A = this chain, B = another copy of it.
Amino acid sequence: MIHGGAGSFRKFSPEEKNKFLSAIDRILGDGRDCLAGGASAIEAVALCVGALEDDVLFNAGRGSVLNENKQVEMDAAIMNGATLEAGAVAGVQGIKNPVSLALMVSQKSEHVMFVGEGAMRLAERYGVAQMPDEYFLSEALLAQLERAIEAGKMTLDHDGVDQGDDKLGTVGAVAWDCQGDLAAATSTGGMVNKRQGRVGDSPLIGAGCYADNESCGVSTTGYGEDFIRTVLAKTIADFIEMKGLDASTAAQYGIDYLTRKVKGRGGFIMIDRTGACASQFTTPCLLRGWVEKGGQPMSCF
């Protein structure tokens, strides 16, 4: 299962919508082939999220939106449900694939999470690919930031600027491999015009991403603070492990919890310990695709 963010697609033309669905189908196909060839769940989610990061359509990696300082600051997390190894980076700049850096942190460091300069020093140490500013910056992203700054002037009492329909947030993937192992990963460029140093839910294990073979793998997207305050990915895993729910019931319980506790805005994809897929969202749309237990690939908004 992969996703390309939650939000509204009202402003998109049919051609634009097709571009998004085609990208999801292509990357989903690559993930399926990778798993069919015997790859592990953690390899499959790293591959899919890396491909989503490389595509300028999505707000992660190359297509990341700009913060208040006209900089790209990216976050990513990855978790292996077989070992509970997890890695996360926040506020990194110039990294081609933040999910690859998160994977290296999970596999090569004793720690789980690194932020800012310290995370970027690890990228050099681990030989993770870096890219110059031109790779990330585009006229479209600069224009989008200008619009957000203008809107921000209208809502000066607030710390954030609603990113509205402009751009979907966050990408993610969850996989269940032929060993029965689960993995999940999430990556984002954050919010347009975000304050320097703000960390959303994507790099937080339990909020934006969680995987445990005894329950499920989850990747979330939406208004990050709602997912941090409910620790939603872990909550969904706990619904399965503590109440014995299946994927679709746990997904329903999860979205109800998000709504009841904080009126949360966003959604998630998940695969449970039996390989069953599910997703839920409170936003008008959640761009997603899935192949369930070797069946036909599906994608939709």
Contact = CB atoms under 8 A, between A and B. Distances in A.
Range, interface on chain A: 35 or more
B205 A111 contact: no
A231 B243 contact: no
Given A207-B206, A261-B84, A197 B228 contact: no
Interface string A77-117: 00000001110001100000000000000001111111111
A74 B66 CA distance: 27
A251 interface: no
Contacts of A243: 242
Contact of A206 (B111, B122, B196, B234): B234
B113 A228 contact: yes
Contacts of A198: 111, 113-114, 118
Copies of the protein in its oligomer: 2
Contacts of A224: 112
Nearest to A89: B197
A231 B229 contact: no
Contacts of A121: 196-197
A230 interface: yes
A231 B225 CA distance: 17
In the A-B complex, list the 3 residue pairs whose CB atoms are closest, starting with the nearest.
A118-B197, A206-B231, A118-B196
Interface of A: 84-86, 90-91, 108-119, 121-122, 158-160, 195-200, 204-207, 210, 212, 224-225, 228-231, 234-235, 238-239, 242-243, 261-262
